[in-house]
Amino acid sequence: MLNVSQPYSIAVLAFASITSIPAVFLIFVGLVLPSAKHIMFWGTVLAIIWGLYYGVRKKSKLSFWASLVMISALWVLLLARTMMRIEFVVENGGMDRADGYGSPVAFLIGLLGEQLFFIPACFVVMIGYRCSKS
């Protein structure tokens, strides 16, 4: 079993803490605008995030690799989405389509919401990769 390093445990704790804020907010949105799917999805995301941290903290078997693979998968999806947004801005010369449809504010809100998950995941993946090499 790989010995989980202290920096990786701290990185996963920071990831869980930072991403819990928007996840809990979105659960409340699901309560205000009643949506069982919304509540279940974000509740599951929250449980998985803290389950990963719990596994890393308890140093259970394969917890390092399970957390690194799951967070890396999220990171890859968010990287692809960020690249799509960059491509959209380059192609259209801004945050709305060339035909005038679209909303720059909605574009920015979506981008910021995604980055709340993407940026902490970047640090976890980098630290995890570094720990896996040692």
Please spell the DSSP secondary structure of the chain, one letter per residue. Answer: -PPPPHHHHHHHHHHHHHHHHHHHHHHHHHHHTT-HHHHHHHHHHHHHHHHHHHHHHHT-TTHHHHHHHHHHHHHHHHHHHHHHHHHHHHHHTSSS-TTS-S-HHHHHHHHHHHHHHHHHHHHHHHHHHHHHH-
Q: Which residues of the chain have pLDDT under 70?
A: 1-4, 134
Domain ranges of the chain: 6-133
Report pLDDT for 1.
Answer: 43
pLDDT of residue 4: 64
State residue 134's pLDDT score: 67
Specify the pLDDT at position 5.
Answer: 78
Q: Residue 3's pLDDT is what?
A: 56
What pLDDT does residue 97 have?
A: 73
